[in-house]
Amino acid sequence: MSGKTIIEMLNYDKNDKRHRFARRAIIAAASLVVFVLLWWNLSLLLANPAIPTPQKTWSALTYLFAHGDSVSGVTMWSHISISLRRFVYGLLLAMAVAVPLGLFLGYSETLREFTMPTLEILRPIAPIAWAPIFIFTTGYVWGPILVVFVGIFFPMLTNTMFGVKKIDPNWIDAAKTMGATRVQVFTKVMFPAAVPYVMNGLRVGMGIGWMCIVASELYASFGGGIGFFVSIMAQMGYWDYVFAGIAVIAVLGLLTITVSDYVHKFIVRRMGME
């Protein structure tokens, strides 16, 4: 034994990593217990079928993952897979368009001045407002993907542009002095320097994109997805299933943001740009 008393061992030491972790874990657990108890009380107090108790929601959740529902005929895993697939397609499309465009707009002031009025008109429009138009013009397969695309596109574009504008002009001058071509300046200086900003745009965009996919599936979807699942279950009054779907949306949203945060931090650290 190190000779510490029990009270000494239980005392919180903010310089100790294990103590910090334990503190966070205990506070999080207490917070969740209070949240679940509040939910339980509210559900019983309102006695409204649309607000099921935590126990019913948990039973529904475990049942849906194991057996699925009789309406769609598939398990929750399938709905998650469908929504994730749409999300990834929208994300890849947004990256493919927003990053090169952001680099160009950040690099060329004239091009930026020319396109900004249009982009500023389009940017404030909520992505879900496009859902009926995208779904009708491109169909039920591409419609929700394009809604995600719009959600991720603008944060990525503005962050990439900002990243390019923030580059120290001396870096570009130095590269040119050393004989770098315009393409090399673009690929060897500007793009790497803008990456942390691109990642920040990605981090913000992924949060918005996840909300977009669920919202567009709630509106209409050709082939399931969690938003669609929530919508049809609400139509039929399976409120415990609706809450289970909402819980899945919350967890997936949290995971998406955690992963993008981690990737962002990792790249920023690797590039020495903390």
Partner 1 sequence: MKLNWNLKMWAVVAALIVVLAATGTVLANKEVEKQSISIVARVNNDGSGIFVRGDVNVDDLVTIDGGVVTYHPDGWRDMLFMSPGPSSIQHMILMDIVKKKVGLGFVQNGVPYTEPSVRWTQVAPGQMKDMMAKSKDDNLIHGGIAWEPHFANIVASGAKKVISSSQYWEDHPCCVVAVNKKYMDTHGEQVKRFLAAYVKSAIKVGDILETGIGDEYEGLIDLVVRVGAPKEGTLDRNAAKVAMANTTYTYELSNLSDELTKVAETYKGLGLFSDETLTDAGFDGVQDFIEYLIKDGPLSEVVVNDGSGPRAKTPAELSLSDNSYRVDVAYLAADTHQIALHYGIEKGYFQEYGIYVNLMGPYAAGGDVMGALLSEHANIGLVGSPPALLQSINALR
Residues forming contacts to partner 1 in the complex (CB under 8 A) are: 5, 7-8, 10-12, 30, 33-34, 37-38, 40-41, 44-45, 47-50, 52, 56, 70-74, 78-79, 82, 139-140, 220-225, 228, 232, 234-240
Helix residue ranges, H only, the chain: 6-10, 17-46, 54-66, 76-107, 109-122, 131-165, 169-177, 182-184, 191-219, 226-236, 239-270
Report the nearest approach of partner 1 to the CB of residue 241 (Å).
9
As measured in angstroms, the least distance from the Cβ of 10 to partner 1 is: 6
- Per the CB < 8 A criterion, the answer to whether 171 and 189 are in contact is yes
Rounded to a whole number of angstroms, the minimum distance from the CB of residue 12 to partner 1 is 6
Q: How far apart are the first and last CA of the chain?
A: 40
Closer to partner 1 by CB, 37 or 174: give it.
37
Cβ at position 269, least distance to partner 1 in Å = 33
What's the rounded Cα separation, in Å, for the pair 78 and 71?
13
Q: Which is nearer to partner 1, 61 or 157 (CB)?
A: 61
Q: Which CB atom, from 149 or from 228, has the smaller least distance to partner 1?
A: 228
State the minimum distance, in angstroms, from the CB of residue 70 to partner 1: 4
Is residue 273 a contact partner of residue 196, using CB atoms and an 8 Å limit? yes
Tokens of 193: 């320097």
**Distance, CA of 99 to CA of 198 (rounded, Å):** 7
> CB-wise, 1 or 10, nearer to partner 1?
10
Q: Which is nearer to partner 1, 23 or 188 (CB)?
A: 23
Shortest distance, CB of residue 73 to partner 1, whole angstroms? 4
Going by C-beta distance under 8 Å and a sequence separation of 6 or more, which residues neighbour residue 248?
Answer: 61, 76, 79, 80, 226
Who's near 129: CB < 8 A, 6+ residues apart? none
Taking the least distance from each CB to partner 1, the nearer of 82 and 150 is 82
